[in-house]
Amino acid sequence: MADEDLDAVMDLRAAVAGEGRWIGAELPLDEEGDRARIRPGRPGTGAFVAIAEEGTLIANLGIELAPYGVAHLGMCVADGWRGRGVGRALLTEAIDWGRTAGAHKLELQCWPHNDAAHRLYEGMGFVQEGYLRRHYPRNNGELWDAVVMGLVLDEERPGSSLH
């Protein structure tokens, strides 16, 4: 992602948020906060986009490495471009970024009804690690569950010795 992609990424996020069923963000977006968080080049973050041949930005992925070594990610593919391998390509880049950045694990959350996301993440080796019941308030007054998924990159370091 380059600086000049930021407007298109915000438009994409607004469009996907407007679908009302896939991502955590809802309309209206927190423009100022999102721009500050999503802009490329922020230390400890990776930002990726997919651009179609005609130049349209069709997907983005953001990943942020927490101080404790876990990288958190979120992504969007534009309606009309889904199911064509774009998500898989971006996630492959993000996993590489995580390894290079020294993350021992990647983590994300998705809605239980998001079958495409589950299929993508499980296909890349993520496993369900948690289930958050009635966790996220939505603008329509509902409380949505969320699935926590993780991909461990470091299986070598010992786990806890306190049993």
Ligand X SMILES: CC(C)(COP(=O)(O)OP(=O)(O)OC[C@H]1O[C@@H](n2cnc3c(N)ncnc32)[C@H](O)[C@@H]1OP(=O)(O)O)[C@@H](O)C(=O)NCCC(=O)NCCS
Give the residue, chosen from 22, 48, 97, 126, that forms a contact with ligand X under the rule CB under 6 A.
22
Closest CB 75 distance from ligand X, rounded Å: 5
CA distance 77 to 84: 10
Closest CB 71 distance from ligand X, rounded Å: 15
Could you write out the three-class secondary structure of 52-82? CCCCCEEEEEEEEECCCCEEEEEEEECCCCC
Give the residue, chosen from 37, 42, 88, 138, that forms a contact with ligand X under the rule CB under 6 A.
88
Task: Supply 14's token pair.
Answer: 């607004």
Interaction between residue 31 and ligand X (CB under 6 A) = no
Residue type, 35: R
**Torsion on CA atoms 47, 11, 136, 105, rounded to nearest 10:** -10
Closest CB 125 distance from ligand X, rounded Å: 12
Stretch in the footprint of ligand X (CB under 6 A) among 30-38, 71-79, 135-143, 154-162? 71-79
Closest CB 33 distance from ligand X, rounded Å: 19
CA distance 74 to 64: 9
CA-nearest of 49, 33, 147, 159 to 104 is 159
CA-nearest of 50, 119, 107, 110 to 83 is 119
Give the residue, chosen from 42, 119, 134, 138, that forms a contact with ligand X under the rule CB under 6 A.
119
Interaction between residue 103 and ligand X (CB under 6 A) = no
Q: Which is nearer to ligand X, 59 or 153 (CB)?
A: 59
Give the residue, chosen from 28, 44, 123, 137, that forms a contact with ligand X under the rule CB under 6 A.
123
- Interface positions with ligand X (CB under 6 A): 16, 22-23, 75-77, 82-88, 110, 114-117, 119-120, 123
